[in-house]
Amino acid sequence: MKKLCILIIAIGSSLYGQMLPREYFHKQISKTAIEQIKADSIHSYDALHYEITMEIDPQEKFISGNVMANLCSKENGLSQVSYELVGLNVDSVFVDAIPANFVQDSLLITIDLNSTYDIGEEFTTQVYYSGYPILSSDGYACGMHFDNAIWTYADPNGARYWWPCYDHPWDKTTTKMIVTVPDSLVVASNGLLIETIDNGDGTVTYNWQENSQIATYLVSLAIYEYVEINQTFNDTIPIQSFVYPSHYDWAVNDFQNVPLMMQIYSDLYGDYPHEKYGMAECAVFGGNGAMEHQTITSLGHNLIDGQQGGEMIITHELAHQWFGDCLTPLTWKDVWLSEGFAVYSEALYVEGKDGFAAFTNYVKTSIHDYYKNWAGGSVYRIYDPPYHQYFYPYEYEKAASVLQMLRFMLGDENFFLALKDYFQTYKHSNVVTSDFQGIVQQYSTENLDYFFDEWIYGYGLPNFQT
């Protein structure tokens, strides 16, 4: 096992590193129930847009609604399509507004199209469904949670637990979310709020529209008796956050640096890629973690303390809006392109806010030393982790350490030019490791095959010396 030594500056103990346990940055998984649920079907169509209409009964924990999907055939003679749906019952299906036959099993709904469609031909399906949502039994607890607030979590493959869709990250779409709830509640979701309708019967309907391409695992709902905190970035991008009324004053203080974070990342990577940003407070990961839902991060309620104690998780999730949400790994083999970049962005925020010495200290103590202590004498490969290890430290802190090595090799100018080029080249699309390697290779005088073979595809362990 090779080791690459990088000289960095150490300046005493890390203030940032002591704020929160690093475990709070990782998506948590129960180790008592690990299984992967896959759809055994060929993806023969491209989903273009989902319109999700839903009524939620918080007391009964019951949902009913329909999903209208705009699809485009990717093969000639397409006669069936399948969606993932688990634990909910399909009532009826329409294709181009005409009733259609379907078969539902425990994992899939398979729809017989009323005619055949050739490559490039577009059509719609509309699936009416209802039931009591369950959570996934694979350790990730994906689905719709009915806690103090109602909130959803679908990472890695859990949208299927609350709405029917082709639930894989490589088919990104636009979405519209139309949700009806009791009128005491507020609904936060992806994109821009188009309208709010008082139905005059004790319910209210929220209409949210996401105009950027989004993966199904990033589609989100958060519902509570929220109050809003409104900020702006560059006088053009709304920052619309939703918090518990009792946490409002704390949150105002804790969120004050979000525009600065957005500025630092925009300068480093390219302009903020979405129409809105914001956060919604909920009990995600027991209130101690967060999830980078596109334009509306779910933020654990224990991270709002009025003292900016959750600042590094807030900036981590924001960085995902560039890497993970806008540039989405094609499959979970390349999850490091999301999590490793977000961890390294934490350090870049520290550098932009407090200088290079603070940055190097953060890299050493909060990233590299944490990883070495966690790994002990074991070695792990970043590329293609097992299903239950998608969000382990080698996809987070080890991957971030590898990015620091790459910066050291290329030099600051070339490294950050490569990051901007990578972001602009693959904006709003899916990426794999070879895409990133291909871009950075253009900024290196060395052939980088050995670097990626050792540190991404192999088991090499970075070693920082001070």
DSSP string, 400-440: HHHHHHHHHHH-HHHHHHHHHHHHHHTTTEEE-HHHHHHHH
Torsion of CA 372, 384, 3, 446, to 10 degrees: -140
Helix (H) or strand (E) holding 296: none
The CA angle 349-350-352, to the nearest 5 degrees, is 65
Is a pLDDT exceeding 50 seen at residue 197? yes
As a whole number of angstroms, the distance between CA 144 and CA 165 comes to 15
In this prediction, residue 102 has a pLDDT band, given cuts at 50, 70 and 90, of: very high
CB contact at 8 A, 412 and 443: no
> Are 451 and 403 in contact, with CB atoms under 8 Å apart?
no
162-191 mean pLDDT: 97
Q: Given this model, what pLDDT does residue 9 score?
A: 31
Cβ atoms of residues 70 and 98 within 8 Å = no
Longest pairwise C-alpha distance within the chain: 69
Q: Which two structure tokens, joined as six digits, stand for 17?
A: 């590193």
Three-state SS at 374 = helix
Tell me the pLDDT of the chain averaged across its residues. 92
pLDDT of residue 21: 72
Name the band, by pLDDT with cuts 50, 70 and 90, for residue 24. low
What pLDDT does residue 387 have? Answer: 92
Per the CB < 8 A criterion, the answer to whether 194 and 209 are in contact is yes
In the β-sheet with 221-224, what is the strand arrangement from edge to edge? Answer: 143-146, 150-153, 221-224, 186-189
pLDDT in tens, 208-238: 999 999 999 999 999 999 999 999 999 999 9
Confidence category of residue 22, pLDDT binned at 50, 70, 90: low
Strand blocks (E) in 202-255: 203-214, 221-224, 227-233, 237-243
Look at residue 19 in the predicted model and tell me its pLDDT.
Answer: 58
pLDDT band (50, 70, 90) for residue 17: very low
Q: Mean per-residue pLDDT for 43-51?
A: 94
Query: Is residue 298's pLDDT more than 80?
Result: yes
Per-residue pLDDT tens digits for 252-280: 999 999 999 999 999 999 999 999 999 99
* pTM over cut 0.85: yes
Q: What is the pLDDT of residue 463?
A: 62
Q: Shortest CA distance to 203 belongs to which of 187, 219, 220?
A: 187
Helix (H) or strand (E) holding 358: helix 356-362
436: tokens are 């990133």
Please report the domains of the chain, with CATH numbers, ordered by start residue: 5-23+355-465 (1.10.390.10), 45-319 (2.60.40.1730)
